[in-house]
Amino acid sequence: MQYIGTLHRLIFSGTIVILSVASGSAGFLPLDDLSPPKFDVLSRDIFSETHEYCLALALYFEGGSTGESEEGQRHIARVVVERAKANKRKWGGPDLCDVVFYRRGGVCQFSFACLPSARRTPRGGAAWNRSLAIARDELAGRSSVTERSIRYYMNAALTPDRNACRFRREFVPVVQAGRHEFFREPTGSERAEIAKGEYAECRRHAKAAKAKTGKAKAGSRPKRHLAATRKTARTMRQAGR
């Protein structure tokens, strides 16, 4: 049987033998000449790069894409990293990416993490590059931020009075950086004191809640009157029977 034009490859003793039956000739190629290209995989710290990316995402969406200053972003980075260092379940544990994407009861610790994937994917550009640079500085210990106690932050201009009131009564303000105000957790003695404090946000919230309740009561009066009238009419009809 003839195998004209068929090319057979035989591997024998570390050498590839290329045999052409039709021509009766053989060629020998050392395996070293066909070795695959070398990739510098072992020199990459994938773990650190992943943490850097997660932190950069938080900085980009929590501040960088909304016009926050570099100082404000650096303080946000400190909050995220310190939460991971604290290793508390309420913040997602010790892993930085787990902290960034932590969700409990359908509520995300960082609001951007609850957005659809397409809306929480950075588009590159100057804002993203700055977020990456700030993340690298924070993780490498090069940040200019000195506060280690900050664990919370809020943008008072965008925060509803109800939530801002809660911040004032639960946490201790530390510093204002950019558009955000940063807080730390109170000591035992501080907790009772700040809980009784009078804050502008709390007064506005209480006033708005009172007005809403009054409006609801006023709106319910006609309904109650109508219900009473109908009840009286039914009673009279039944009495007439």
* Residue 229 included in any domain: no
Task: Looking at the structure, tell me whether residues 23 and 107 fall in a common domain.
Answer: no
Confidence at 5, pLDDT banded by 50, 70, 90: very low
Domain boundary among 99, 128, 145: 145
Task: Looking at the structure, tell me whether residues 129 and 153 fall in a common domain.
Answer: no
The dihedrals phi and psi of 7, each to the nearest 5 degrees, come to: -110, 120
Q: How far apart are CA 208 and CA 51, in angstroms?
A: 43
What is the per-residue DSSP string for 24-90?
A: TEEEEEEGGGGPPPP---TT--HHHHHHHHHHHHHHHHHTGGGT--HHHHHHHHHHHHHHHHHT-GG
Task: Looking at the structure, tell me whether residues 166 and 110 fall in a common domain.
Answer: no
Of the candidate ranges 102-111, 191-200, 207-216, the one whose mean pLDDT is the lowest: 207-216
3-state secondary structure of 14: coil
pLDDT mean over 230-241: 62
* Residue 240 included in any domain: no
Task: Looking at the structure, tell me whether residues 69 and 126 fall in a common domain.
Answer: yes
CA angle (57, 61, 66) in 5-degree steps: 145
- Strand segments, DSSP code E, in the chain are 7-12, 15-20, 25-30, 103-104, 107-108, 152-154, 172-177, 180-184
* Residue 133 included in any domain: yes
Strand pairing category for 107-108 and 172-177 = unpaired
Task: Looking at the structure, tell me whether residues 15 and 69 fall in a common domain.
Answer: no
Task: Looking at the structure, tell me whether residues 132 and 71 fall in a common domain.
Answer: yes
The residue type of 241 is R
Q: What does pTM read for this prediction? A: 0.69
Task: Looking at the structure, tell me whether residues 138 and 51 fall in a common domain.
Answer: yes
- How confident is the model at residue 223, as a pLDDT? 61
The residue type of 175 is V
Confidence at 140, pLDDT banded by 50, 70, 90: very high
* Residue 230 included in any domain: no
Q: 74-112 as b/e, with b when 16 or more CB fall inside 10 Å?
A: bbbbbbbbbbbeeeeeebbeebbbebbbbeeeeeebbeb
- How confident is the model at residue 29, as a pLDDT? 39
Task: Looking at the structure, tell me whether residues 162 and 186 fall in a common domain.
Answer: yes
* Residue 61 included in any domain: yes
Task: Looking at the structure, tell me whether residues 129 and 178 fall in a common domain.
Answer: no
Domain boundary among 91, 124, 145: 145
Residue 68 has pLDDT above 70, yes or no: yes
Task: Looking at the structure, tell me whether residues 140 and 212 fall in a common domain.
Answer: no
Domain boundary among 128, 145, 162: 145
Average pLDDT for the chain:
80
- How confident is the model at residue 160, as a pLDDT? 94
End-to-end Cα distance, the chain = 114
How many domains are contained in the chain? 3
* Residue 234 included in any domain: no
Residue 60 has pLDDT above 80, yes or no: yes
Where in the sequence is the domain holding 78, given as residue range(s)?
45-145
* Residue 9 included in any domain: yes
- How confident is the model at residue 6, as a pLDDT? 37
User: How many alpha carbons fall within 13 Å on the CB side of residue 55?
Assistant: 30
Query: Which of 24, 25, 1, 28 lies closest to 12 in space, CA to CA?
Result: 28
* Residue 232 included in any domain: no
Neighbouring residues of 20: CB distance < 8 A, sequence distance ≥ 6? 7, 8, 26
Task: Looking at the structure, tell me whether residues 129 and 202 fall in a common domain.
Answer: no
Task: Looking at the structure, tell me whether residues 103 and 152 fall in a common domain.
Answer: no
